[in-house]
Amino acid sequence: MATSRAPLRFADAVSATVSESAKSGFFFDFDGTIAPILRDPAAVFPVPGAVERLRVLAGLVSRVAIVSARPAAFLSDRFAAVPQVRLYGLYGMQTVVDGQVRTDAEARPWAPLMRDLAADALRDLPGEVLVEDKALLVALHYRTAPALRGAVERWASTKAAELGLREQYGRMVVELRPPVEHDKGTVVEREAETLTRAWYFGDDLSDGRAFDVLRDRELRDPAFLGVRVAVANGETGDELARRADFTVSAPEDTPDLLDHVIGAFPGRSARSYPG
C-alpha cells in the first residue's frame, strides 16, 4: 500500500518529534511488539527494558499508550509501575481510569452472548485449540496445532455470521468480538486528535488499522506526521512491514529503538540510530 509521502528518514522522524514533543504521542500494541509471543498468553510479560522506556518517554512527550486486544485488567497488572501510560484493552472496548477498568457501555450488553460463545468454542473445537475467554472477546489460539487453522477459521466465520460479531485474524489466532465501533484505528485516531506527531508500533494484521489512520490523517493534515513501526515476524509480519516507515526485527529490539528517540531529547545522551 502506498504511503502518503516520500520515505521518512529515522533521524527526521525523531527530530520532528523532539521539536514538537508537547504534541507528540507514542502508541504501542502489546503482544509481539513490546512483549514476546508465547504459547501460554497468561505467561507473557513486557520485554526487559520496555516499561522503563515507556516511563521515560511519558515524561518527554504528551501521550504514551498501549492499544491491545488484552483485557485492560491484564494490561493494568503488567504496567502497574507506569500509571502515566494510558491503557486501552479489548481493542478500546476497555480503558483504565484512576486504576479502575471502564468498559464501553455499548459493548457491555454483549457479555452474556460472548460467555456462551466461549462455552460453545470449548465444546465444539478440538482440545488443542486454546479458547481464551476475555469477557467481551473470545480468542481462539491454534499455535500448538497450526493444522487446525482452517477448522478454527470456519467455525469462527460461521459464528460471526450467525451472531453478528466481528472477526479479527492474527498470529495463530482468530478473535471474535461485538460489532461496536472500536479497533486500534479508532483508538489512535481519537488519541491523536490533538497531536501533530504520532508513532504507532505493531506486529499484526489488526495494527494495520492504526497504520491506516495515521496515513489518512497525514493526507488531511499536512502538518501531521505519523510514524509507523512494524515489528517483524514470520507469521503476519510481512504484511505490516510493507506499510511501515521502519521495521525492527523482534520485540526485544523495540526498547533499543526507543533509546534512540529518547537520546535525541535535550539533556539526554545522544545516540544515532542506523537507517
Q: Which residues lie near Mg ion (CB under 5 A)? A: 29, 31-32, 203-204
Give the nearest distance from C-beta 78 to Mg ion in angstroms: 14
Active site residue 221: no
Give the nearest distance from C-beta 233 to Mg ion in angstroms: 9
Give the nearest distance from C-beta 94 to Mg ion in angstroms: 17
Residue nearest to Mg ion (CB): 32
Nearer to Mg ion, 53 or 171 (CB): 171
Report how far residue 136's alpha carbon sits from residue 178's, in angstroms, rounded to the nearest whole number: 7
- Whether residue 247 contacts residue 231, with contact meaning beta carbons closer than 8 Å, is answered with yes
Nearer to Mg ion, 183 or 204 (CB): 204
Nearer to Mg ion, 5 or 39 (CB): 39
Q: Give the phi and the psi of residue 134 in degrees, each rounded to 5.
A: -105, 30
Give the nearest distance from C-beta 170 to Mg ion in angstroms: 7
Nearer to Mg ion, 17 or 33 (CB): 33
Nearer to Mg ion, 32 or 46 (CB): 32
Report how far residue 64's alpha carbon sits from residue 43's, in angstroms, rounded to the nearest whole number: 24
Give the nearest distance from C-beta 23 to Mg ion in angstroms: 26
Instruction: Kindly name the residue from 12, 29, 116, 256 that is annotated as catalytic.
Output: 29
| Residues belonging to the active site | 29
